[in-house]
Structure 1
Amino acid sequence: MNSSILMQIEAVYYPILAIVGVPANLLSIVILPRGNCGLTKCITYYLVSMAAADILVINFEVILHEIKDTYFPKSFLDYTSICRLTFVFSFISIDCSVWLTVVFSFDRTVSICCQKLRVKYCTEKTAALVIATVCGLCVGQNLPLYFVNQPGNIIENMAWFCVVKPEFYVLPTWRAYLHFHTILTPFCAFFFISLFNALTIRHIVRSSLIRRHFRKDIKDPTVKNRRKSIILLLSISGSFILLWMLISFCHISVQFTENQFYQTDYIDPFTITEHTGYMLQRLSSCTNTFIYAMAQTKFRNQLKNVIKCQS
């Protein structure tokens, strides 16, 4: 792919992603807490927190990074002290989005597979505590990233831009941190999401077969609701895994080859793959609202009502 073509695609792609992604997630935050979508408050807490994390990803990764670099180069956001913070908050928001998806999958597994534990775990208080804990851990885990970058230029005694320090890929401490970060996100997240989904789907399928055996000629609303649960759960977690797969390949490549992240050589195959992976990864931050609209009739109705009120 010609470098100019990739840059032109990014120049159009990211503004469209921001224009679509921010309103879509805001609609989820507005609609879901109203309680008219047939979801428990526990589920609503998770879905709203995931939408909020996705908005942060779009703001830091898409607007303050990609769009800013393309359309507003060399602004005050390029001061090293500021872009270091933007860099850290980008990873914090990404990790929050990923691990909130994991704990949401776990909550659904407990709710469906563990009836005794469900009463104590699947509550609003527990959901709020889990969400706060996950976000706090994501903040703590990514604070060392503030020290990963160094100034790219010194202009009139002012540090500009952020460049990854060469020792980040050499020093054992930083390499260990990079390995840990890569294993944790996204590979541990992939494993846990796949595990929780497999357990949930197996339980639902078994329960549905048993109920269908005893209710042969009767339409069972429980089976129908469980089928919708499978569709919603698989759509959210499945789209997440698919959209993260390419950038995950890049993470593996950096661990075992001489390739490095954030290079600007758009002719290099790894750089092209990395940028394509980032485009897909960031797309995952605006897909959930469309998944809700496709999987939940009540959400679609509420969405129509909101649009009618605004028109």
Structure 2
Amino acid sequence: MTLVEDIRKDIKTCTMDKKEIVDKQDQRSFDKTGPDGLHPCIFKEATGEMEKYKTLVAVYPFHLFVNQTHQQDHLSEKMGWPVTVQIEAICYPILALIGVPANLMTIVILSRGKCGLSKCITRYLVAMATADLLVMIFDVILYAINDIYFPYSFLNYTCVCRINLSLIYFVIDCSVWLTVTFTLDRFVAICCRNLRTKYCTEKTAALVIVTVCGLSFLENLPIYFMFEPSEIIDNTSWFCNVQSNFYTSPAWIAYLWLDSILTPFAPFVLIFLLNALTIRHILAANIIRRGLQGNNGENQNDPEMRNRRKSIILLLAISGNFVLLWMLTLMYYMCVQIADSQFLQTDYTDSFTSMEKAGYLLQRFSSCSNTIIYAVAQTKFREELMNTVKSPFTLIIKLMKH
């Protein structure tokens, strides 16, 4: 057992009466006490060990000493991580390296308005990309990666952790419900001819986006109060655990049901329903159009048919991406509601915990996959993407020539 591990074990297992722990000429006494007025006992009476402990504690205040030893020992513990955590440690940095630039480029390219999309569609897609970018920042970088690689950074103070978790739930809800509103917009544009001119406008899209973000913010305000400190070191609260009464308090149970219905149950139902109605309408319209034309050979060059095909491909790709990558999270939410399971557990031998971690990984991946969908489904977006990637190199070559 290493010295650091030995100290950490002693911190957890023994206490001693409050006393001076270093010589008077280098006095750095502990002014902080525990709930019983006692201090962690970090001494060992064995010969040769006392001076090591005195030296370490004399140099560092207690909470800084514990934090630094955790940081130094963290890399040596990686090989002992559960398989799930090791997978997360590899996947999340890669996800951040891909997701942040991808969403930034999507926002820039779509904002130029050169992809052949209407202003209404562009508004929704830019809003979705912005929400996905925020998911990458708050959820993947500041939460997942920080929790794995920097477990005792200031981001893990309970007060900071609460704010970050509240923002995570907020941006995730925005991302989910913006996908729903985009699906609704395409349903109205394709299936509701009379309502199309009034609803499918840039102004209406902006109003819908602001409304979704505002309601998502209000709905996630209680999240801040849902968590309590996981550890208290030197009177400093660390990390966030779900409150012990969260699954027994009637108010929190009601909130959990409401939150689960709003995300992800309702979006799943609405997306399935709207897509089914949209596909049925397109198939019926195509049959009628073929009958009127009376010549199957003309269908291949029919611009209306091509536009409908592109619309349905884009719609189904975005909606299907959401459904597939959120499916595991939906299943876990159902398990929490009907089984004796809880969120944010750390028992990696439990199948429910593994399901939750895998679901969150897929859910986070959905926040960077839309760029791939646009690149595959939209020729003009793909061209603009290539031009954006090439532009720095083109500029460098021009400067070198001059």
**Correspondence for 1:7:** 85
**Aligned: 1:122 with 2:200:** yes
Counterparts of 1:45 and 1:187 in 2: how far apart (Å)? 25
Aligned residues: 310
User: How big is the shift at 1:3?
Assistant: 5.9
Structure 1: segments with no counterpart, 5+ residues:
none
**Correspondence for 2:374:** 292
1:60 corresponds to which of 120, 134, 138: 138
User: How big is the shift at 1:22?
Assistant: 0.8
**Aligned: 1:172 with 2:254:** no
**Correspondence for 2:387:** 305
Counterparts of 2:180 and 2:213 in 1: how far apart (Å)? 12
Structure index of larger Rg = 2
Q: 1:263-300 deviations in whole A, cap 9, x for unaligned?
A: 11111111111101111111110111100000001111
**Correspondence for 1:282:** 364
Letter in 1 for 2:157: Y
1:104 corresponds to which of 182, 202, 212: 182
User: How big is the shift at 1:158?
Assistant: 2.1
Q: Return the structure number with greater helix share.
A: 1
2:272 corresponds to which of 185, 194, 200: 194
User: How big is the shift at 1:91?
Assistant: 0.3
1:222 corresponds to which of 301, 304, 309: 304
- TM-score scaled by length of structure 1: 0.97
Counterparts of 1:85 and 1:114 in 2: how far apart (Å)? 42
Letter in 1 for 2:318: I
**3-state SS in 1 of match to 2:346:** coil
Could you tell me the percent identity over the aligned residues?
Answer: 59
- TM-score scaled by length of structure 2: 0.76
Counterparts of 1:268 and 1:238 in 2: how far apart (Å)? 29
Letter in 1 for 2:230: G
**Aligned: 1:249 with 2:337:** no
Letter in 1 for 2:375: A
Structure 2: segments with no counterpart, 5+ residues:
1-79, 394-402
Higher relative contact order (CA 8 A, sep 6+): 1
Q: 1:245-278 deviations in whole A, cap 9, x for unaligned?
A: 1111111111111111111111111111110111
Letter in 2 for 1:225: N
**Aligned: 1:50 with 2:134:** no
Letter in 2 for 1:80: T
Letter in 1 for 2:82: S
Counterparts of 1:162 and 1:7 in 2: how far apart (Å)? 18
Counterparts of 1:270 and 1:4 in 2: how far apart (Å)? 15
Tell whether the 8 Å contact from 1:3 to 1:266 is kept in structure 2 after alignment. no
User: How big is the shift at 1:138?
Assistant: 0.2
The runs of at least 4 aligned residues of structure 1 exceeding 4 Å deviation read none
Q: Considering only aligned residues, what root-mean-square deviation do their CA atoms show, in Å? A: 1.1
Q: 1:137-190 deviations in whole A, cap 9, x for unaligned?
A: 000000001100011222233222111101011111101110111111111000
**3-state SS in 2 of match to 1:210:** helix
